[in-house]
Amino acid sequence: MKTLVKILKRILLALLLIIGILIVFVFARQSKTYDAPFPEITAVQDSAVLARGEYLVYGPAHCSGCHSPLDKQQALATGEHIPLEGGFIFPLPIGELQTPNITPDPETGIGKITDQQIARALRYGVGYDGRPLFDFMPFHNLSDDDLQAVISYLRQMPAVKKEIPKKKLNFLGKVIYALMIEPIGPEQGIEIPKSIVPDSSVKYGEYLSNYVANCRGCHTNRDLKTGAYIGEFYAGGFAMPSTMKPGKAVVSPNLTQDPQTGRIVGWSEEKFIQRIRQGRTIPLSEMPWDQFQQMSDTDLKAIYAYLQTIKPVQHDTGPAVIDLPN
């Protein structure tokens, strides 16, 4: 009996030692850094470039929807181009994340961050200090010209001094950040274009849908803890925790061409554009309707054309709004 007690004590001590080592490792990895290339992108004052940047920021790229606090979303809904001071809160299973201040304020915004550091963050998911970023922004394959346009516009935006709290990860979030969050760069096999001409083609629609508007990112089921894709592209089913009503989640619909479960099967181009112009009809919808309503007819035609080419995937996504498990 004494021998058994000694063995159990040794096992317990070994387990405690392993747990202790894991905890130390997890907390040490919160400051991990990575190297990634710095794109040769420099902000300019050219009026055409700034106009393109403004259109992307408040339109298809919907930067304004995430980098504005919830209490100022109504201003965006009326078409006001407010400074992007950050503070939008994402409640996730791994903790609470807030979007940063991306105005040119030198203390709390991007004023002291170089153009190349911003470009690296958007293209490779590596912050100015080398830390890996959670994959919220789908801009890894943004063309050089569009990347320049976005950065150029952010540089001339009015500066707002507003300190945003750092990410608040629970222990699960810290474990995931330590072990699973790494830089995500451009898609393999996809050549990043120097520039891309806006038109109503399928090719441009693919660019907008996958790399600018992030239609694929929300209309594909994903792991809320890591952001990894776990479903067929565009088949929907991604349950996004509501930023407006705790305990609820909004489920993205299937946008593939499946005749039974595809939401937009049989829609005409005109109906598709009208639906986007109509805006939010589900009050808790997390889709950036306020930004997409500002998109040009040409861009919406391109997205519509591309969505017509998505392979059918039978996937009934169920109710649009669901209760989150306790």
Mean pLDDT lowest among 13-22, 35-44, 317-326 = 13-22
Q: How would residue 127 be classed by pLDDT, with cut points 50, 70 and 90?
A: very high
* pLDDT tens-place string over residues 83-116: 999 999 998 899 999 999 999 999 999 999 999 9
Asked if 252 contacts 219 with a C-beta cutoff of 8 angstroms, the reply is yes
Summarize pLDDT for 196-228 with one digit per residue, the tens.
999 999 999 999 999 999 999 999 999 988 888
Give the chain's length: 326
Average pLDDT on 47-58 reads: 98
Q: What phi, psi does 254 have (nearest 5°)?
A: -75, 120
Q: Which residue has the higher pLDDT, 10 or 152?
A: 152
Contact of 254 with 313, CB cutoff 8 Å: yes
Residues 69-84, mean pLDDT to the nearest whole number = 90
| Residue 32 pLDDT exceeds 80 | yes
The amino acid at 54: E
Rounded to the nearest 5 percent, the helix, strand and coil shares of the chain are 40, 10, 55
Q: Which pLDDT score, from 0 to 100, does residue 2 have? A: 66
Among 67-71, 93-97, 117-121, 137-141, the range with the most confident prediction by mean pLDDT is 117-121
Percent of the chain residues past pLDDT 90, beyond the cut: 78
Name the residue with tokens 């590596």.
126
The CA–CA distances, whole Å, from 281 to 129, 284, 289, 290 equal 41, 9, 10, 12
Bridge partners of 322, per DSSP, are 249
Cβ atoms of 185 and 137 within 8 Å: the answer is no
Angle, CA of 151, 156 and 158, to the nearest 5°: 120
Please state the rounded mean pLDDT for residues 236-257. Answer: 94
Q: Are 69 and 85 in contact (CB under 8 A)?
A: yes
Residue carrying structure tokens 């009326």: 78
For residue 71, count other CB atoms closer than 10 A to its CB.
8
**Whole-structure pTM value:** 0.92
**Sign of torsion over alpha carbons 166, 172, 178, 184:** negative
Q: Is the pLDDT of residue 25 over 90?
A: no
Dump strand ranges (E) for 189-296: 239-241, 248-251
Q: Beta-carbon neighbour count of residue 17 at 10 Å? A: 10
**Residues β-bridged to residue 89:** 98
Q: What's the confidence (pLDDT) of residue 142?
A: 97
Indicate the pLDDT class of residue 1, thresholds 50, 70 and 90.
low
pLDDT interval class at 189 (50, 70, 90): confident
Edge-to-edge, what's the strand order for the sheet holding 89-92?
89-92, 95-98, 168-169
**Beta bridge partner(s), residue 251:** 239
Rounded to an integer, the average pLDDT of 224-238 is 93
